[in-house]
Chain A
């Protein structure tokens, strides 16, 4: 099930909210657990079994690690961890990468092995990473093992972040799993956040996604149209992904969970380093915490650090899908980040800030072009078109597509910008108090008219989202490769 569907909005969400809040507190995890299982089984009626297996497997290993720790047996502790990691990676590897591996083996050796044609279980990359964070943290002693299988299962299958992230680490919500309060503040902020995410997904991402869909299907490109398409896709993936994260964070809060932020206006970045501090934060921090630092991070000299970065970024790329373009995309960022570490950042600091933004966005848009095309041949054709190789600069198609999407593009640019920064400047110029990191509406609560703005804005977003969900047929799920 996805959030931007009517099965979710008209049936699932009202029923689950109702059940959750009429049930006594001790039954609430049970409600969430069953709701989440239905949520997942709705799209993956068979693969829900893998998730259940994963739950039992990780729960058992967590308990084993705890048991061996109490027995003072670090060797067995480690063994339990290794078994757990191997199990998780084997599941991920089999379902996600087996055919990719066989296909490559065939093309290298000519072995001609037949592909397995396994459908990828939705969200498998998200929940295996979540459960691995649990066992690793138990092993490192950062969190105690969860004794209640019910609470642990609730964590693994929790539907808000299940299929499109963010990757919620166990330690983030460990306390809230056993004991959490529901408050009016959490519910209302969560509902508002959900509406914002829905608006981003349905009103912005789907709309500009239709432009990318049209351009990527065109038989004749010009350089201008190719760039328009790449920019369209860049906006689509940002608003789609951050929209899903907003909806997840919002839903989580409606049930009393506080997830960490996953996006922080990434297109405001002045460097690639900064971009990755603002984009899909839960994934980059996962890789940093559980791969980069264990590999030695930056503590073993520059050559080793560069190698570590390349490993991490190749894996990051591969995490996004079993295809070479994702590996290329990961390494592209790996190389850029290494170059920034070595010298580029120092150069950028000396340049005016706007040049840094232009530089970052240029590279990010190229990055998304690589990301969008799983067919290497199509990718090279598209990149050539962007740089004018063998195509003309512009034709009437470009002007038509621009005229249809011009207003939308302006809205997308405005929504990509950090409105808090603007508000700060505005309020400062009026001599008002400085602004915290809160929401734009929380800054204007002193005014009674503007007080109404927040619920009104939420209703407008919800209503328009419903209107576009009813009337528009283009509503893709972009993360089926993750």
Chain B
């Protein structure tokens, strides 16, 4: 009896004291690559902060972020949840065949915001169409993997009625070239068109949509068979991984398509300027060594990106976009003289004057539906 008591006491003291001490001895990490976020700093002590509770809250966050073995604790947690049959972990769904999915339920959708965003796009198009022909104004609303690859979702998983929203929004833009890529993507649902651990589409997914769109605007496009595929990474774990944090999760690949025998070198022929002055690049290979490897495409998101492309047909394309366009635009480099990409999250200027300033001849608004229904910057189009 006494032996058990000694053992319990020793175990308790060593566990509680040990983890506490180890956390204080170990050096703090600034960034958690696994979770793809900065960890919190120690809170600043002041009586004001204490009285308002900020110091206490900050200390709790700090201790939690820098606890000894943070990644391992999370791994254990996820393993236990998965073992118990839970497929809704960290705000994402753990699907079949290594696929993870964004969890967006009916309650997450703000109908008023969807309405406002749709109206913003339509009114932007209406004004732009005074100078640009309606069939050169395109709208691409990309479904999420949860719709296209629904058979890989956990059975009965709760999601908002994405198709109904796609129908409604595309219908509102019907006077313009609203391209519905659902069927085309669905026809390839058994291919690698979305990442398993990231919410983005792969280069193959973007390729399908690019072909569909090219056809709809009457642009010539290359077939995949004439191009060379270059796989650049096969250890990518994306945004969904960062939510679920499952140590046993699959890894994703990142690849490009380009002229045969040229590797990535063909993109060096296009001059890229970021935010009006800085030189940019179409493929940022340095990002392949970082956690968020999707940033390989254009090095991430910028307010505006200008590409001196290789079209030689006098046409200038403006892409108003979210990150889904980053895998798409490299495919369109030979279709236009210039391509301008604007990300409304970071660009503050007036879009109508942007059209005039850059002699835009074609417009493409490209969003993923989950961004489109939640983005709070689209009003800037009006």
* A192, B8: Cβ atoms closer than 8 Å: yes
* B67, A464: Cβ atoms closer than 8 Å: no
Mark out the residues of chain A between 6 and 50 whose CB falls within 8 Å of any chain B CB in the assembled complex: 6-7, 9-11, 13-14, 17, 42-43, 45-46
* B8, A11: Cβ atoms closer than 8 Å: no
B340 to chain A, nearest CB (A): 40
Mark out the residues of chain A between 354 and 413 whose CB falls within 8 Å of any chain B CB in the assembled complex: 396-397, 399-401, 403-408
In the complex, the chain B residue whose C-beta lies closest to that of A470 is B73
B109-124 CB contact bits vs A (8 Å, 1 = yes)? 0000000000000000
| Complex contacts, A463 vs chain B, CB 8 Å | 15, 76
A9-B16 contact, Cβ under 8 Å, with A185-B5, A470-B73: yes
A467-B16 contact, Cβ under 8 Å, with A7-B63, A397-B156, A400-B156: no
| Complex contacts, B67 vs chain A, CB 8 Å | 6, 10, 466, 470
Contacts between chains A and B (CB distance < 8 A), count: 140
Contact of A451 among B4, B53, B88, B156 (CB under 8 A): B4
Mark out the residues of chain A between 254 and 269 whose CB falls within 8 Å of any chain B CB in the assembled complex: none
Which one of B21, B50, B63 has the highest number of Cβ atoms from chain A below 10 Å of its Cβ? B63
In the complex, the chain A residue whose C-beta lies closest to that of B70 is A470
* B63, A45: Cβ atoms closer than 8 Å: no
In the complex, the chain B residue whose C-beta lies closest to that of A195 is B12
Report the bound CA distance from A407 to B81 in whole Å.
10
Report the bound CA distance from A17 to B245 in whole Å.
34
A403-B84 contact, Cβ under 8 Å, with A184-B2, A184-B5, A218-B107: no
- Is B60 among interface residues, defined by CB-CB distance under 8 A? yes
A367 to chain B, nearest CB (A): 27
* B4, A454: Cβ atoms closer than 8 Å: yes
Report the bound CA distance from A339 to B298 in whole Å.
73
A408-B84 contact, Cβ under 8 Å, with A184-B6, A399-B155: yes
A399-B156 contact, Cβ under 8 Å, with A404-B86, A459-B15: yes
* A6, B8: Cβ atoms closer than 8 Å: no
- Residue count of chain B within 8 Å CB distance of chain A: 50
* A188, B8: Cβ atoms closer than 8 Å: yes
A159-199 CB contact bits vs B (8 Å, 1 = yes)? 00000000000000000000000001101110110110000
A467-B77 contact, Cβ under 8 Å, with A10-B63, A11-B63: yes
A480 to chain B, nearest CB (A): 13
A451-B3 contact, Cβ under 8 Å, with A468-B77, A470-B73: yes
* A400, B23: Cβ atoms closer than 8 Å: no
A207 to chain B, nearest CB (A): 8
In the complex, the chain B residue whose C-beta lies closest to that of A405 is B86
- Is B303 among interface residues, defined by CB-CB distance under 8 A? no
In the complex, the chain A residue whose C-beta lies closest to that of B5 is A188
Determine chain A's interface SS by DSSP, over half rule. helix
Report the bound CA distance from A78 to B137 in whole Å.
87
* B84, A191: Cβ atoms closer than 8 Å: no
* A403, B76: Cβ atoms closer than 8 Å: no
Contact of B17 among A14, A403, A404 (CB under 8 A): A14
Contact of A396 among B12, B70, B88, B156 (CB under 8 A): B156
* B88, A404: Cβ atoms closer than 8 Å: yes
Report the bound CA distance from A383 to B4 in whole Å.
49
Contact of A397 among B21, B73, B158 (CB under 8 A): B158
In the complex, the chain A residue whose C-beta lies closest to that of B20 is A10
A422-453 CB contact bits vs B (8 Å, 1 = yes)? 00000000000000000001000100000110
A219-B107 contact, Cβ under 8 Å, with A6-B60, A188-B8, A471-B245: yes
Report the bound CA distance from A57 to B74 in whole Å.
48
B165 to chain A, nearest CB (A): 15
Mark out the residues of chain A between 286 and 328 whose CB falls within 8 Å of any chain B CB in the assembled complex: none
* B87, A404: Cβ atoms closer than 8 Å: yes
* B84, A467: Cβ atoms closer than 8 Å: no
* A403, B11: Cβ atoms closer than 8 Å: no
| Complex contacts, B63 vs chain A, CB 8 Å | 6-7, 10-11
Mark out the residues of chain B between 36 and 82 whose CB falls within 8 Å of any chain A CB in the assembled complex: 50-51, 53, 56, 59-60, 63-64, 67, 70, 73-74, 76-78, 80
| Complex contacts, B60 vs chain A, CB 8 Å | 5-7
* B156, A455: Cβ atoms closer than 8 Å: no
* B77, A219: Cβ atoms closer than 8 Å: no
| Complex contacts, B9 vs chain A, CB 8 Å | 184, 187-188, 191
Report the bound CA distance from A115 to B96 in whole Å.
53
- Is A145 among interface residues, defined by CB-CB distance under 8 A? no
| Complex contacts, B8 vs chain A, CB 8 Å | 188-189, 191-192, 454-455, 458
In the complex, the chain B residue whose C-beta lies closest to that of A402 is B156
- Is A469 among interface residues, defined by CB-CB distance under 8 A? yes
* B154, A400: Cβ atoms closer than 8 Å: yes
- Is A220 among interface residues, defined by CB-CB distance under 8 A? yes
- Is A274 among interface residues, defined by CB-CB distance under 8 A? no
* B80, A400: Cβ atoms closer than 8 Å: no
Mark out the residues of chain B between 105 and 163 whose CB falls within 8 Å of any chain A CB in the assembled complex: 105-107, 154-158
B1-36 CB contact bits vs A (8 Å, 1 = yes)? 111111111011101110111010000000000000
- Is A75 among interface residues, defined by CB-CB distance under 8 A? no
| Complex contacts, A43 vs chain B, CB 8 Å | 53, 56
| Complex contacts, B64 vs chain A, CB 8 Å | 6, 469-470
- Is B218 among interface residues, defined by CB-CB distance under 8 A? no
Report the bound CA distance from A401 to B86 in whole Å.
9
| Complex contacts, A1 vs chain B, CB 8 Å | 56
Report the bound CA distance from A471 to B12 in whole Å.
22
In the complex, the chain A residue whose C-beta lies closest to that of B78 is A471
A404-B73 contact, Cβ under 8 Å, with A6-B60, A184-B2, A471-B78: no
| Complex contacts, B2 vs chain A, CB 8 Å | 184
- Is A272 among interface residues, defined by CB-CB distance under 8 A? no
- Is B269 among interface residues, defined by CB-CB distance under 8 A? no
* A464, B80: Cβ atoms closer than 8 Å: yes
CB pairs A–B below 8 angstroms (13 shown): A11-B63, A45-B50, A45-B51, A188-B4, A192-B8, A397-B158, A400-B157, A403-B85, A451-B3, A455-B4, A468-B80, A471-B90, A472-B77
* Chain B contacts to A: CB under 8 angstroms: 1-9, 11-13, 15-17, 19-21, 23, 50-51, 53, 56, 59-60, 63-64, 67, 70, 73-74, 76-78, 80, 84-88, 90, 105-107, 154-158, 245
Q: Which 6 A-B pairs have the closest CB atoms?
A: A471-B77, A400-B156, A191-B12, A188-B5, A6-B63, A470-B73
Q: A441-B4, A455-B11 are in contact. List 7 more A-B contacts (CB 8 A).
A: A7-B63, A9-B20, A14-B21, A184-B2, A187-B9, A403-B155, A466-B67
